[in-house]
């Protein structure tokens, strides 16, 4: 059996040989002549001269052997609709969508902005863009109009694909007023918006630029659109990073390198096999949705499950029943979703037949030990953490079980993934950190295939933001703190801008959250740093309790706060003790479950949290405001 260390070392020391082998996983219409062009650092070009197509690799090449296998399973607990598409049916739908797009002026190299909920047409639209050689830019359905307009102006699309409405938690969100306002705000608005009518918003905005999809779909029902063969380094898509302030920052991805990286990751990291079924509970607006709802499972000849809804609608057993119903083998979601499910009736999990499930993968935010232990024990299956970013497109830290089944360490997402020359560096000197010393996680040049090529339309910003922040070294900065042990396992300690400096002591919010999470009464917690006249900064904790009534009166709240502080003292030391603990019913999160820490910190300091287009429930912000105001009073 191969050794992880040897495997990783080869990928770093001989990247051309390593990735030449991995490139055989996909179809090349024209073979590449150069594996890696590093003539213009920090930019890197992979598989130069090779021509391929993401849609062909994800759909067409499976038709000979998997035409009647399910490619896409769609489940919406918002509308009650469930549908299934074989590879042959997916191929037909993508051709229809591509024909419609082409009739509306979409050509190779043009941008298409996709502003859709989690519906099959979102998959069709993304794959149709890939088929035509167009560049898709997926924006969360329901984004605020100013944010949508900013992305329109940055990408300059020739077409927007949207829907009459989305639905979340039983609430219908009419998209058309948002699109209408964004079109009026944007300086580079396209002439047409292709509209998927779900019949959810009968009073939707009527505008001359809206074009209904269904009549055109019927018109092109028998369309056969050939794939555009793209040079490996042509752009495949733009994805704007969450939490962007000012001008949006569009991560630009290539075609060939992305396909190869995802195809390899399905074997080495996710142990996915052709014919398996994978359920990634995320959203197409996130990179996880791009990579592991759509492209990677289809590249591997698998069935992918697309879900519209929450993990607790109609009840907290819905995801486990889906595993049973569709014989799901691999599941991928965020730790926040598991913490939500942890609060549900455990009988709901036990009632489902989970025998088909091999592994649960978690990513998107740090996985705390109590959550990892609970879900591992509850499932009796491997729970595998992994760490990556929108910018990388696929994991950079993980246990690569398809290479060597190293043991999992609770609290760590794993060891550096093949292809990533990962080093922890001192923030002041840029020099490598000693084992056990906290540092900034960096990646040596070149980034492996599948990572971002540049910032869309702004090479200078790409260089300045990612490659010039570490003193004395041209390395990619993740802007995350970490610590690496003697066996190579890395633990994430939070963003470099989430570090709290308390009386000269630098503390990561993650460390304090871990300590608070171990308290038996705590279901969820977010810790932020706020200005303090005496100490520079102080830590504030916002806690969701397992029993909401446990802090119902001031005396009980005071007692519980003292108990939580004592827990932090025991686990981290008195320096990590939060200045105050605020009890709230919910924390502000994005639709995919990420905590909006900067918004929480802004509210705690009495500032405007700014535009939060991805927030799941805006009422959570009011709870933060009220908690701070009540304690101040």
353 in a domain, yes or no?
A: no
β pairing state of 165-168 and 171-174: antiparallel
Same domain? 145 vs 253: yes
Residue 612: pLDDT band with limits 50, 70, 90 = confident
pLDDT, position 22: 98
Is the pLDDT at 470 greater than 90, yes or no? Answer: yes
In a domain, 356, yes or no: no
Q: Are residues 262 and 135 in the same domain?
A: yes
Residue 506: predicted pLDDT: 56
Residue 46 lies in a domain: yes
Provide the pLDDT for residue 359.
Answer: 97
| 488, two tokens | 């190579």
CATH number at residue 296: 3.40.50.12780
Domain final residue pick, 432, 449, 480: 480
Range of the domain at 293: 4-309+388-480
- Same domain? For 275 and 162 the reply is yes
Q: Does residue 246 share a domain with residue 152? A: yes
Tens-digit pLDDT profile for residues 239-260: 998 533 456 789 999 999 999 9
More confident position, 518 or 295: 295
3-state secondary structure of 61: helix
374 within a domain of the structure (yes/no): no
Highest-scoring range by mean pLDDT, 367-371, 372-376, 506-510: 372-376
Identify whether residues 263 and 412 lie together within a single domain.
yes
Percent pLDDT > 90 in the chain is 74
State how far the Cα of 31 lies from the Cα of 23, in Å rounded to an integer. 10
Neighbours of 370 (CB within 10 A): 18
**Using a CB cutoff of 8 Å and minimum separation of 24, what contacts does 337-340 make?**
337/281, 337/311, 337/593, 338/362, 338/371, 338/374, 338/375, 339/371, 339/523, 339/524, 340/311, 340/312, 340/316, 340/593
Q: Starting at the earlier edge strand, list the strands of the sheet with 476-484.
A: 422-425, 439-443, 476-484, 490-495
Judged on CB neighbours under 10 Å (0-12, 13-18, 19+), 294 is buried
Q: Which of 226-230, 539-543, 601-605, 627-631 has the lowest mean pLDDT?
A: 627-631
For residues 473 and 530, membership in a common domain is answered with: no
pLDDT one-digit tens code per residue, 192-220: 999 999 999 988 999 999 999 999 999 99
Largest CA distance in the chain: 73
Domain shared by 44 and 163, yes or no:
yes
Report the C-alpha gap between 337 and 192 in whole angstroms: 37
Question: Would you state the pLDDT for residue 503?
Answer: 54
Record the tokens describing residue 97, joined without a space: 């969508």
Determine contact, residues 384/398, Cβ cutoff 8 Å: yes
Give the Cα-Cα-Cα angle 296, 302, 304 (nearest 5 degrees). 75
Residue 618's pLDDT band (boundaries 50, 70, 90)? Answer: confident
Please give the pLDDT value at position 104. Answer: 98
In a domain, 376, yes or no: no
Q: Is residue 345 part of a domain?
A: no
Examine the pLDDT at 535 and tell me if it is beyond 70: no
What confidence tens digit (pLDDT) does each residue in 41-76 have?
999 999 999 999 999 999 999 999 999 999 999 999
Does residue 364 fall inside a structural domain?
no
**How much is the average pLDDT of 264-286?**
96
Q: Which of 480, 511, 529 is the last residue of a domain?
A: 480
Highest mean pLDDT among 415-419, 580-584, 599-603: 415-419
Shared domain for 27 and 77, answered yes or no, is: yes
Instruction: Give the per-residue pLDDT at 245.
Output: 41
pLDDT at 524: 92
Looking at residue 512, what is its pLDDT? 86
* Gap between the Cα atoms of 480 and 455, Å rounded: 19
My answer on whether 474 and 509 are in the same domain is no
Q: What is the structure's pLDDT at 505?
A: 56
The predicted pLDDT at position 243 comes to 38
Task: For residue 388, count CB atoms less than 10 angstroms from its CB and return exposed for 0-12, middle for 13-18, buried for 19 or more.
Answer: buried
Q: Which helix (H) or strand (E) holds 121?
A: helix 120-132
Same domain for 300 and 198: yes
Give the number of domains in the chain. Answer: 2
Average pLDDT, rounded, for the chain: 92
Task: Tell me whether residue 383 is in a domain.
Answer: no
Assign residue 580 the CATH number of its domain.
Answer: 3.30.300.30
Clarify whether residues 445 and 514 are in a common domain: no
Residues 444 and 508 in one domain: no
Q: What is the pTM of this model?
A: 0.84
């Amino acid at each position: 059996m191969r050794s992880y260390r040897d495997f990783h070392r080869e990928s770093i020391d001989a990247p051309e040989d390593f990735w030449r082998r991995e490139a055989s996983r996909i179809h090349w219409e024209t073979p590449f002549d150069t594996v890696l062009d590093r003539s213009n650092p920090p930019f890197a070009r992979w598989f130069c001269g090779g021509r391929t197509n993401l849609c062909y690799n994800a759909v067409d090449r499976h038709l000979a052997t998997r035409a009647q296998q399910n490619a896409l399973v769609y489940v919406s607990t918002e509308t009650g609709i469930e549908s299934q598409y074989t590879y042959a049916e997916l191929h037909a739908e993508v051709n229809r969508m591509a024909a419609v797009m082409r009739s509306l002026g979409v050509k190779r190299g043009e941008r298409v902005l996709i502003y859709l909920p989690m519906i099959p047409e979102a998959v069709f639209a993304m794959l149709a863009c890939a088929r035509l050689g167009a560049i898709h830019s997926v924006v969360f359905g329901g984004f605020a109009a100013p944010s949508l307009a900013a992305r329109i102006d940055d990408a300059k699309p020739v077409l927007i694909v949207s829907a009459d409405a989305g639905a979340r938690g039983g609430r219908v969100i009419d998209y058309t007023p948002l699109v209408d306002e964004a079109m009026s705000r944007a300086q580079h608005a396209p002439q047409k918006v292709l509209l998927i009518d779900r019949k959810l918003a009968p009073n939707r905005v009527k505008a001359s630029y809206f074009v209904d999809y269904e009549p055109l779909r019927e018109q092109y029902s028998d369309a056969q659109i050939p794939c555009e063969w793209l040079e490996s380094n042509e752009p495949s898509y733009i994805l704007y990073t969450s939490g962007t302030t000012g001008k949006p920052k569009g991560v630009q991805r290539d075609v060939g390198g992305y396909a190869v990286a995802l195809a390899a990751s399905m074997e080495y990291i996710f142990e996915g096999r052709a014919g398996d079924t994978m359920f990634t509970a995320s959203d197409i607006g996130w990179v996880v949705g791009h990579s592991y709802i759509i492209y990677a499972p289809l590249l591997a000849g698998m069935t992918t499950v697309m879900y519209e809804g929450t993990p607790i609608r109609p009840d907290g057993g819905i995801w486990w029943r889906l595993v049973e119903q569709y014989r799901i083998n691999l599941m991928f979601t965020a730790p926040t979703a598991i913490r939500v499910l942890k609060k549900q009736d455990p009988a709901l999990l036990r009632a489902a037949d989970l025998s088909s499930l091999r592994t649960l993968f978690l990513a998107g935010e740090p996985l705390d030990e109590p959550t990892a232990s609970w879900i591992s024990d509850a499932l009796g299956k491997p729970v595998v953490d992994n760490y990556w970013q929108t910018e990388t497109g696929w994991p950079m830290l993980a246990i690569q079980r398809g290479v060597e089944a190293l043991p999992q360490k609770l609290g760590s997402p794993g060891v550096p993934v093949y292809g990533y020359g990962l080093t922890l560096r001192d923030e002041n000197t840029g020099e490598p950190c000693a084992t056990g010393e906290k540092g900034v996680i960096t990646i040596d040049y070149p980034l492996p295939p599948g990572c971002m090529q540049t910032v869309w339309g702004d090479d200078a910003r790409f260089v300045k933001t990612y490659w010039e922040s570490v003193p004395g070294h041209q390395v990619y900065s993740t802007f995350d703190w970490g610590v690496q042990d003697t066996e190579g396992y890395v633990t994430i300690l939070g963003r470099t801008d989430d570090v709290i400096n308390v009386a000269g002591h630098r503390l990561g919010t993650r460390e304090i959250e871990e300590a608070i999470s171990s308290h038996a009464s705590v279901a969820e917690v977010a810790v932020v740093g706020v200005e303090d006249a005496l100490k520079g900064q102080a830590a504030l904790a916002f806690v969701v309790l397992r029993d909401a009534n446990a802090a119902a009166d001031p005396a009980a709240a005071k007692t519980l706060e003292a108990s939580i502080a004592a827990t932090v003292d025991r686990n981290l030391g008195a320096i990590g003790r939060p200045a105050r603990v605020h009890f709230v019913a919910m924390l502000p999160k994005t639709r995919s479950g990420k905590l909006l820490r900067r918004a929480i910190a802004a509210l705690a300091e009495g500032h405007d949290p700014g535009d939060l287009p991805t927030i799941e429930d805006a009422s959570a912000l009011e709870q933060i405001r009220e908690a701070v105001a009540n304690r101040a009073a």
